[in-house]
């Protein structure tokens, strides 16, 4: 029997080595890209709430449908080492896997589908596009565009327990009250405040398997 019945995974800088909105910003002029990356890093370190910058970053970038599709492909290219094998083994062990991310749903769903994670197990923020594929806004009502939103979402999922949550940022720490254990994933980036708030630190998906199974 597995140690954990459910695993909640973050996407950006956890399942993949990309911060999706920063990646999109990097396709713009350097000054804009630098500012967006700075805001993202401050939010993930817990210095400012994600609520304060979520819409601002997207309004600056205004990603198109083609760019979101390109981000999805980039996610695949930068999957964490061992992630595909780990998720396959977790599924074989009948561990429930869900993705809870403040990233863009339309980029995440095609990527994780390759890992056997169905669309209904992905909880992320939708982007609205015109028929021509131009940016038309985002799902501003989503809890996942807020600092504590992951807690709200996970609480509503009624996952089989015990539940392990895994992530790299301050928004992931917010899940701590509604899961049985929180692991700071440091395979891509290590944020001291997140590690201090975690029950354990995971450097790789091989370590994740050891903890869960």
Chain segment 106-164, per-residue pLDDT in tens: 999 999 999 999 999 999 999 999 999 999 999 999 999 999 999 999 999 999 999 99
pLDDT digits (tens, 9 = 90+) for 73-115: 999 999 999 999 999 999 999 999 999 999 999 999 999 999 9
The fold of the 6-212 domain, in CATH, is Rossmann fold (3.40.50)
DSSP label of 80: P
Point out the least confidently predicted range of 48-57, 113-122, 176-185.
Answer: 48-57
Give the closest residue to 152 by CA, choosing from 198, 100, 94.
100
**Coil vs helix vs strand at 147:** coil
Give the whole-angstrom CA distance, residue 90 versus residue 203.
Answer: 18
Identify the pLDDT of residue 146.
94
Q: Would you tell me how many other CB atoms lie within 10 Å of the CB of residue 177?
A: 11
Q: pLDDT tier at 2 (50, 70, 90 boundaries)?
A: confident
| CA angle 78–82–88, rounded 5-degree value | 110
Q: pLDDT tier at 44 (50, 70, 90 boundaries)?
A: confident
Identify the pLDDT of residue 130.
98
Identify the pLDDT of residue 64.
98
Identify the pLDDT of residue 185.
98
Identify the pLDDT of residue 198.
98
From first CA to last CA, the distance across the chain in angstroms is 7
Q: Where are the alpha helices (DSSP H) in the chain?
A: 20-25, 30-44, 54-61, 65-77, 83-92, 105-113, 149-157, 170-173, 192-197, 205-212
């Amino acid at each position: 029997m597995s140690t954990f019945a459910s695993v909640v995974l973050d996407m950006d800088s956890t399942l993949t080595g990309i911060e999706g909105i920063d990646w999109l910003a990097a396709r713009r002029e350097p000054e804009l890209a630098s500012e967006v990356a700075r805001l993202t890093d401050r939010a993930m370190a817990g210095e400012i709430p994600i609520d304060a910058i979520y819409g601002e970053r997207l309004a600056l970038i205004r990603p198109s449908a083609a760019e979101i599709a390109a981000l999805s492909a980039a996610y695949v290219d930068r999957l964490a080492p061992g992630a595909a094998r780990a998720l396959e083994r977790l599924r074989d062990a009948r561990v429930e896997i869900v993705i809870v991310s403040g990233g863009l749903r339309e980029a995440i769903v095609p990527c994780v589908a390759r890992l056997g994670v169905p669309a209904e197990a992905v909880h992320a923020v939708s982007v609205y596009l015109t028929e021509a594929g131009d940016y038309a806004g985002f799902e501003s009502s989503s809890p996942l565009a807020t600092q504590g939103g992951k807690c709200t979402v996970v609480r509503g999922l009624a996952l089989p327990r015990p539940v392990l949550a895994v992530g790299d940022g301050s928004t992931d720490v917010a899940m701590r009250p509604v899961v049985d254990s929180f692991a700071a994933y440091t395979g891509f980036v290590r944020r001291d405040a997140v590690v201090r708030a975690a029950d354990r630190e995971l450097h790789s998906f091989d370590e994740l398997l050891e903890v869960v199974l």
